[in-house]
Structure 1
């Protein structure tokens, strides 16, 4: 009996040591536990799920990180706001088929919330960094009952969707860490916001609390437009996609090479990063906000940001507008923005005009109307017929009308969209008159110059004829003598 007891103890100890030393499993099944000193590793060894302690913290968190990167980088955290203060954490599948994280005294620290119960639940860590709960009886291995990609923390990995599943009412967005040693939700968020109720014009925002920090320009078929940098530049080995239909609205990206390790991470700003193995660092290729004009609405209403002229402020009122507070504007306090020089007109005889602007980040779409079936001429007429319409434009294939004050416009070399801004007839008529007067004055000046030049030429010609006549007369007199 003593020998059998010794043998049993040896086997248990051996299994425990082997599980601690060799982290080769990528799945958890019911009745299996993953303790604090073990990990799950994805099949190709790219990611691992395990407990970690960030920075100078003493707390333990369950997270997904890169397996073979020397700099510990967590890309997802389960119990980000519910730390475990010792090594008692364990992970298992409970009786309802959900994945559950226990802390000290079997306290539930975190769990999945699948409404469907699997016949044979299975948790698996995939090679794209996604932790999934599925039914092992289901032949469709992509039919997930729950997945970590639906609940991102501060990091977006290739293949992850940032945005909305409208069927489930699920909004996937990034939220920053509170600090380097506290992964709980910080102040900054990054996600797609929808205009209600039609979801016609989704926009990507970085927010600091409730305040808008940065707004991406609309998707132009290639990338999001209007930033200081361009999204299509940073990663030559990656592809971007924006999906907008009745079921989903999301942004995603993919990589063309398995050797590239890329991630998008949110701190006080968004950074697109690539791991450089030779330097053992995360290299940031693209950062937003990128310059002063990227910050939301820095110039106030009805203005544009981004003057390239020397000794000229970065904020300028749009054509047909003037500073609301001239004194503040002079000292570069631009928050009050600009107001119209005159009132818009709906008179058929004195129609307002639209000035076209290229290479702009189009205005914020807080109050917009959009239509997919109109052409440019019809879009113009629609805006002109409504006295409240401030501007119109075409975003990919949509006619878009803007109402109310125009916010967050900037000069952008990668704007790729034209905006037509309404200018009151009363503001343009004097300009047209001045232009006609200037043209007439220039024409008169040109005529006067032409007359003078012709007179000079005629005078020179007459003088030359006289000289030639005098010379001939002298020659004849010489021969006569």
Structure 2
């Protein structure tokens, strides 16, 4: 009988625990989240929920975070992406050593948070930002956070990029399919080199590139600029390289997702009760990485869509066709260190791939020119920051890769200048050609003006004669009567 009452009491306490857990935003080391009892964590203002779910038509179980008040299950983070649990045995808890773990059948490990520090009195908490954190009781410092290990979704406040101090790469990775959240082919993150930029990878190949940050936006993504709804922050220093967005209008719900084919940004439209996509990347054919090959310029609306940068020619003039755009262009006249050279200014380009580039944020544009001029392998230079008249120096070496026309002219707000190395003789020839064109235009205008002026003068002269005759005084005639 005593055993019966003990079991009954234990069951009652367990039931009370689950009722409590349904409304709680955190658990301690003595508590847990169980799939078999459908327990969840709900963030303080009930924005997000954490629990177990099955994606699409799959019966596998995953631990994830989703929007709590939005109909359906819009998942923003998955813990055990590559190790699904095949039944409802999943349990999330903090083990005896202070680590956050997800256990499956027979208490086997399905996933664990790889925190480097062990908590004495650990608290696992789901924040209203959608961030799941492990921290010490009564402390705000996080020992681990889900924002450092994103899945396919980018949320406000989440850093996308590198913590260089510990080698942490925060990048989005697409789901393999709507039924399978394991990492797919597409990923989206920063490349680590002197002049960082966001790159979308398809397997081991570059699929799309943002262009480098110019102080206002990434040169190939002017769409990702601050708005009245949210602002963007880019940080690049010896400790971190990251990009994030923060909401200005907290009532607006927005998220960015990397799916199996592209990056998409959505906003929740309450009136329609649906997610509305308002941005996708790549946005057109010219966003395809290096579509036109080395030194080729991709121009949407032009035919052919791929053209050579001025001063360059197609590598194979006889066989060059749309299927061979990847071959790109080469210089019309090859350069050598002994040549007298200069730089031609081009406006409105997406800045070239920065893999073979150098960045110096303290140099002026003129200092940048001199530095590039004195280095035979430097093919182009530009201000790295376009704000307040421009500052900093970016230099490119070897070929110019993945260029596209972003702005039609220099006056465009999204325009950025790049100075490309050219032979002085070619520049002189261009100047002569330009002067010749100017002279021809001036002469043509003068001829047209003269042709129009001659009839006008003739007509004017005739009118003047008539007027003079009409105004001549009539002499009185004496008549003898």
Equivalent residue, structure 1, for 2:285? 292
Q: Is the 8 A contact 2:345 2:417 kept in 1?
A: no
User: Counterparts in 2 of 1:44-443, with a 5 A limit?
Assistant: 44-136=45-137, 139=138, 141-195=139-193, 200-227=194-221, 230-232=223-225, 236-267=228-259, 268-309=261-302, 312-331=303-322, 333-347=324-338, 350-357=340-347, 359-396=348-385, 397-413=391-407, 415-437=414-436
CA-based RMSD of the aligned residues comes to: 3.3
SS in 2 for 1:326: coil
SS in 1 for 2:368: helix
SS in 2 for 1:284: strand
1:190-233 CA-to-partner distances (Å, cap 9, x unmatched) read 001111xxxx3111011101111111122233332323x61127
The Cα of 1:61 is off from its aligned counterpart by: 0.6
1:280-329 CA-to-partner distances (Å, cap 9, x unmatched) read 221111111111111111111112112445xx222111000111122443
- Higher mean Cα deviation, 242-251 or 413-422? 413-422
1:395-446 CA-to-partner distances (Å, cap 9, x unmatched) read 1132111111101111113644211112223433443444455556667778
Q: Is the 8 A contact 1:346 1:385 kept in 2?
A: no
Question: 1: distance between equivalents of 2:447 and 2:272?
Answer: 73
Give the TM-score, by structure 2 length: 0.86
Aligned length: 463
Q: Is the 8 A contact 1:313 1:332 kept in 2?
A: no
The 3 A distance-change label for structure 1 pair 409 and 6 is same
Question: 2: distance between equivalents of 1:465 and 1:251?
Answer: 76
Question: 1: distance between equivalents of 2:11 and 2:321?
Answer: 77
Question: 1: distance between equivalents of 2:7 and 2:360?
Answer: 73
Unmatched tracts of structure 1, length 5 or more: none
SS in 2 for 1:333: helix
The Cα of 1:456 is off from its aligned counterpart by: 10
Question: 1: distance between equivalents of 2:366 and 2:397?
Answer: 19
Q: Is the 8 A contact 1:344 1:352 kept in 2?
A: no
The Cα of 1:115 is off from its aligned counterpart by: 2.3
Question: 1: distance between equivalents of 2:416 and 2:466?
Answer: 68
SS in 1 for 2:290: coil
Unmatched tracts of structure 2, length 5 or more: 386-390, 408-412
SS in 1 for 2:394: strand
Question: 1: distance between equivalents of 2:157 and 2:461?
Answer: 87
